[in-house]
Structure formats: structure tokens, C-alpha cells
Amino acid sequence: MVSNNKDFFDQSLDEIKLLRFIKSNYDPNSHYLLNFKEALYYKEHLLLQTELLNDNLFVAYRKNPSFFSVLTIKQIALQILTALAALHSLNILHSDLKPENILIQSYSPVAVKVVDLGNSCFLHDHLAPYVQSRSYRAPEVILGNSYDCKIDIWSVGCILA
């Protein structure tokens, strides 16, 4: 459910358009992207229906750090990079990758989904000077330089570290 606030509502409408665009080009399930079902407007609230997922990586790590073996981290990394390859092939920047935006679909076998495209944009859009959460922000963004899809890769490195 999206907060009934104009800024959040507008951002969610943009996210819905992106999710539909992605789904029209790729199978979200085979590319580790959120499987968007539909959007509903009910009693002045916007509802997004998606697949049911588990904890995000931040919560999962706090609950059970021993789950994150080297093998598990490698599997998660491959899945995140597969999702990014799909997004980047469509000229979409995620621009807010962080552990909270990677949800666990399955613990065994390990499967994750990249979610929250609310800050995503097309490379040809006017790129905002403020993107990415501070702890996962690429140097070019910090310095106010131009940036591209490489900022998502930087964020992946921060997550894995």
C-alpha cells in the first residue's frame, strides 16, 4: 500500500510503468526481478500486488549471519548481477540498490529478488544529482559528476562487502 501522499503516489506510478515495461521485455522470475501482478486504486489508496517474498538481506543477516556462507554470497551476487544485466540492457538504472531492496524468495535453494524501482530511471532521462542511499553511493555521485549504470555495480560491491 502506497502512502496517500502526492510525492509517493507519483513515484509509485512511475514505478508501476517501469515494472510493466520490464515485464513486457523479460520474465521477472528468470531474471531475479520483482514479479509485479497489478495495481489497484481503492478508497484513495494505491495498492501494488506483487509476489510474496521473505525478509530483505539486511533483516536476514541480522537474524542469522551464519546463513551467509561464501557459497551463499556468491549465489546471491550472481542473481543480483543477473537482475542488473536485465535492467541495464533496457537502459534502466536501479539507483537505490541496498540490502533492504533485495528480498529473499527462497532460503533453500537460495533465491533473491531485486525490488523497489521507485528511484529507478532510464539512462536518457534527466539524471538527478541525488541518488543512492549514502552507504552504497558511488564516488561519481558523491562528487556530483555524471554517472551511468556503473553506479549500480558499485552498490553491489558495497552490499557484498
116 is catalytic: no
Domains parsed from the chain with CATH numbers: 6-160 (1.10.510.10)
Q: Residue 5's pLDDT is what?
A: 77
Q: Residue 110's pLDDT is what?
A: 97
Q: Residue 128's pLDDT is what?
A: 80
**3-class secondary-structure state, position 133:** coil
Share of the chain above pLDDT 70, in %: 100
Q: Is the dihedral of CA 89, 90, 93, 99 positive or negative?
A: negative
The most confident of 63-77, 116-130, 131-145, by mean pLDDT: 63-77
Q: How many residues does the chain have?
A: 161
In this model, does residue 98 exceed pLDDT 90? yes
Mean pLDDT of the chain: 93
In this model, does residue 4 exceed pLDDT 80? no
In this model, does residue 92 exceed pLDDT 80? yes
| C-beta of residue 99 within 8 angstroms of C-beta of residue 119 | no
Q: What is the pTM of this model?
A: 0.92
Which one of the listed residues 14, 27, 96, 148 is annotated catalytic?
Answer: 96
Q: Which residue has the cell 552504497?
A: 136
